[in-house]
A and B are shown apart, each in its own frame.
Chain A
Amino acid sequence: MSNETMTIFSPKLAARFDALVQKYPARRSALVPMLLYAQDEIGYLSDAVIAEVAARIGITELDVRNVATYYSMLRFKPAGKFNVQVCTNISCMLRGAYDLFERFQDELGIGHKGVTTDGLFSLEEVECIGACCWAPAIQVNYDFHDELNPDSVPGILAEYRGKAKAEGTVSHA
């Protein structure tokens, strides 16, 4: 698929995909990274994302769904602007991850896989994110926050609310 073709992705990502499918001996090897990058840009794997990825690789949409549904990191519904992922795997759990997770639920008023009404935050309980040394840890989009306790929650949320506001001001200016 060339750059001139209609795409739902940014020119930069489209170019990246063009390179990616050439990179492997079999085109479909590019499938998982493409789905991840597409999700980062679009926010989730919409029907349009699946259709375009399938077309770019030359496989059926069914093939794409077969792979995508296997991975819990891939979403088929929009998440919040900031996706809060609380690790509750063993190290974090022993160091109070469930208290932390409960506090997030209380502060945000949503449960596992929920999205706040303003679309700013979503919350999910996840398996190990590889930060056991600094448990309990969370991941907000790609940022890590570690050695937390329930009282760190309001501060973290405020930080991201502030970020959103700043971005909002910039974009409105």
Chain B
Amino acid sequence: MADVTFTVDGKKLTAPAGTLLIDACRKAGIEIPAFCYYPGLSLQAACRMCVVRQEKVPKLQTACTTTVAEGQVFITDSPEITQARKATIELLLGNHPLDCPVCDAGGECELQDMTFKYGAGESLYAEAKQHREEQQWSPAVFYDRPRCILCYRCIRMCGEGMDVWALGVQNRGARAVIAPNGGDTLDCEQCGMCIDVCPVGALTSGSYRYKTRPWEMNHISTVCTHCADGCKVTLGVRQSNIGSEIIRADNRDKSGINGDFLCAKGRFGFDFVENPERLNKPLVRNANGQLEPASWEHALRFAAGKLKEIRDARGGSAIGVIGSNLTTNEENYLLQKFARTVLQTNNIDHERTADYAGFARALAGSQGRTASMRDTATAPAILLIGGNPTEEHPLLAWNLRTNVRLNRARLYVANAKQIKLERQAKAVLRLPADGYPALAAHLDGSDKVIAGSAFRETLLAEESLLVILGQEYRGAELEELVKWGLKRDNVRFAFLGDHANSRGAADMGLLPDLLPGYVPVTAPGQFSAEYPGMPAAPGKALPDIFASAAKGELAALLVVGANPIAKPGMDAAALKNTFVIVHDIFLTETAAHADVVFPAASLYEKSGTVTNTYGDVQLARKAADRSGVKPDFEILVRLAGAMGVDVKTLVPFGTTGITADLGQSRGAQAGEADRHAVWLAANGLEPKLSPFDPLAVLDEIERLVPGYKMDRLNLFGGNDVPSEPGFVPLSALTANAAITPAHDGLFTSGTLGRYSPGLKDLNRHQAAPALAKTAAD
């Protein structure tokens, strides 16, 4: 809408007509307090804190419901307004306990801040405060009734934001309380968004409450390690006896790809890092066949010695390598480089959950046709084929709902099953159970398998389209559908996978036939010079690695952060005569069969980049610390070193010498890798001094992988930076090896989920029979 000019506190402001006064003021740096107002949710005008004086209007107006128009004059700060706000706070404090010293929100409470600012320290009310007991609604959500100021934020967040509608207000007047849908329990998606938006300490989190004070924590923004949406998560950490522990995960930093949002896994599922079953010492199988703790030095020397012996005696083809969906891009890159150049084998794979290689091949040569996660929140028309984002991609579901609600986006759903997002859809096409392969032909006008043309006609009338494909698609069907979209203008794609860095694992070449950037092993181009010693033929995929083990042809297997034995159809007995090395966080089924186990750091305990399923690359920053464990990156470098490899050939560090400051120069720039690197480069010093610096490998990734030319300033600033699969060579071809979608739901997260007490509690709570009948959808 056209801009209008109006006056606030004597300042001329300009904003589009119809902007809410509170937003216009905040943008101009004029603070207007509000408890009930929350950007993006419906207006409530319940708290009366945002009152302002508007010229020629007899009563004070609420800034959260006043829209600006030409020539209006407002006063937001005057003795009259201060008095009105003070009176509001006094009423709120009429029943609100002043237990701030023991309240979870103390120190980050909006009511506390406002009371401090407006000074309603005394009250004219003589009545005793009503005390009522606190309630536990679920393992994740607690509600303290007297502390509630009835701002309705939680209700609107749950209803409008999450489309769960599990909260309401009951009773009236001084007895009014927030009530959950199960009477005294909460039956919902347990996202914890209600806790996040609560301006006071009424809603508190089961995993965080009464553990610490907010100011005792350091807050580090990193990337969630659970699903493939790649939400930014802020970890609150505190020093502990064994390093630094994670106390809380939330979304303080709303600048991330996920905006306001975080789901149950991101918020409550970090506790696997504190699991007492975590490995904290290397284990080596002794003469009696038992795994026993060993020193890092011994374990590394033993493992490296065996690997070298096997490579020299039987060649690289007798060695297999299995990578992870959770490790960083740099670790994945390093692992495949280590496999190909040091172990001299292409027998490298990971547990594939989606056909990213097929997706990249379908898009080969077509640039600018993929969508970032951010586009799902702004695209005017979206076609969602397959998948169930509400369960498996909570942020995507949130973005789609928000986009429909705030931008009136048109969502089209084509699915064989009914999914919750259909409530937001403009049109739904119910596919036959095996109807996915026929969809591309249907969209082109064939009604042979899928009947009805109404859906197609509305869809094709859209000028632009964002197509989101579920894991139902792979290989030829995936390619056919992408090709259908490529024929049209303004069609972009997103492809859904399962884990935090599944996309990165594929992009970085944890594949037997494809190098980083999906460059075929058979036509390696510049990689032939970069990777001396790499075998020319494609290697074995994961099932074939196990098959060759069963035949006794596999002498060694290196497994990094994966648990293939837990997958159905994988036989542990096959590994009887194979020397197995495992890096993992826990003693998984696979680790239990290993000869050497290295205790690995989780994604929350290391830095590096990860790529979400939309191809957005983000920097994961080290938040927690734990003695005894090492990042997979460091373990690999040490393993290579122990094999006698010059690690500079693996990690390009110290390329201009070893002259640099040892931290003295950092000062105010400590911890800011980007600015420090700029400073070092400007002074002619080597920025990458350590063989354990993943950013050195990032340099090499950027140099060799065309899709990963990134805006570093943005990346290091904590923003998401898109990668570009369109640069994939047209010759990229892959055998369609076993792809098993993990289909992790709201409270499951592969191996990590099994070691997270918080997620297990939520699973149990939501599976309870009393609640089953009124499941959230």
Residues of chain A touching chain B, judged by Cβ–Cβ distance below 8 Å, are 60-63, 65-66, 69-70
Contact = CB atoms under 8 A, between A and B. Distances in A.
Closest A-B pairs by Cβ, 3 of them: A66-B168, A69-B170, A62-B181
A69 B180 CA distance: 14
Contacts of B181: 60-62
Contacts of B172: 69-70
A65 B166 CA distance: 12
B683 interface: no
Interface residues of B, number: 12
B624 interface: no
B169 interface: yes
A38 B172 CA distance: 22
B171 A63 contact: no
B171 A62 contact: no
Contacts of B170: 65-66, 69-70
B165 interface: yes
Contacts of B168: 62-63, 65-66
26 contacts: A60-B165, A60-B181, A61-B181, A61-B774, A62-B165, A62-B166, A62-B167, A62-B179, A62-B180, A62-B181, A63-B165, A63-B168, A65-B168, A65-B170, A65-B179, A66-B168, A66-B169, A66-B170, A66-B179, A69-B170, A69-B171, A69-B172, A69-B179, A70-B170, A70-B171, A70-B172
Contacts, number: 27
B443 to A, nearest CB: 34
A60 B169 CA distance: 13
Given A66-B179, A70-B170, 12 more contacts: A61-B774, A62-B165, A62-B167, A62-B180, A62-B181, A63-B168, A65-B168, A65-B179, A66-B170, A69-B171, A69-B172, A70-B171
B754 to A, nearest CB: 33
Contacts of B180: 62
Contacts of B169: 66
A35 to B, nearest CB: 14
Contacts of A66: 168-170, 179
A61 B187 CA distance: 13
Contacts of B171: 69-70
Contacts of A70: 170-172
A61 B170 CA distance: 12
Nearest to B165: A60
A65 B774 CA distance: 16
B101 to A, nearest CB: 33
Q: Which of A62, A63, A70 has the most CB of B within 10 A?
A: A62
Q: Which of B167, B168, B171 has the most CB of A within 10 A?
A: B168
Nearest to A59: B165
B194 to A, nearest CB: 14
Contacts of A63: 165, 168
A66 B150 CA distance: 14
Contacts of B165: 60, 62-63
Contacts of A60: 165, 181
B277 to A, nearest CB: 39
Nearest to B187: A62
Interface string B756-774: 0000000000000000001
A32 B653 CA distance: 73
A60 B165 CA distance: 8
B775 to A, nearest CB: 12
A47 B651 CA distance: 67
Nearest to B180: A62
Nearest to B166: A62
A60 B776 CA distance: 11
Interface in B561-593: none
Q: Which of A60, A61, A63, A69 has the most CB of B within 10 A?
A: A69
Interface in B243-293: none
Interface in B170-187: 170-172, 179-181
Interface string B467-491: 0000000000000000000000000
A60 B774 CA distance: 10
A45 to B, nearest CB: 13
Nearest to B173: A70
A63 B169 CA distance: 9
A60 B172 CA distance: 19
Nearest to A72: B172
A129 to B, nearest CB: 19
Contacts of A65: 168, 170, 179
A74 to B, nearest CB: 12
Interface string B60-102: 0000000000000000000000000000000000000000000
B148 to A, nearest CB: 15
A68 to B, nearest CB: 8
Contacts of A61: 181, 774
Nearest to A64: B168
Interface in B137-187: 165-172, 179-181
B638 to A, nearest CB: 57
A77 to B, nearest CB: 15
B173 to A, nearest CB: 9
Interface string B167-211: 111111000000111000000000000000000000000000000
A1 to B, nearest CB: 18
A61 B181 CA distance: 8
A65 B181 CA distance: 9
A61 B774 CA distance: 10
Contacts of B179: 62, 65-66, 69
Nearest to B171: A69
Contacts of A62: 165-168, 179-181
A58 B181 CA distance: 15
A66 B169 CA distance: 6
A84 B170 CA distance: 26
A62 B164 CA distance: 12
Interface in B728-777: 774
Interface in B297-337: none
Nearest to A68: B170
Nearest to A47: B183
Nearest to A70: B172
A169 B184 CA distance: 44
B611 to A, nearest CB: 40
B383 to A, nearest CB: 29
Interface in B643-700: none
A62 B183 CA distance: 8
Contacts of B166: 62
A66 B159 CA distance: 14
Nearest to A63: B168
A70 B169 CA distance: 9
Nearest to A66: B168
A69 B171 CA distance: 5
A9 B179 CA distance: 27
A69 B170 CA distance: 6
A65 B168 CA distance: 9
B140 to A, nearest CB: 18
A24 to B, nearest CB: 21
Interface string B518-550: 000000000000000000000000000000000
A70 B168 CA distance: 12
Contacts of B167: 62
B462 to A, nearest CB: 30
A60 B181 CA distance: 8
A65 B171 CA distance: 9
Nearest to B169: A66
B187 to A, nearest CB: 10
B29 to A, nearest CB: 38
A66 B165 CA distance: 12
Contacts of B774: 61
Nearest to B175: A69
A66 B170 CA distance: 5
A63 B168 CA distance: 7
B773 to A, nearest CB: 11
Interface in B213-243: none
A80 to B, nearest CB: 24
Contacts of A69: 170-172, 179
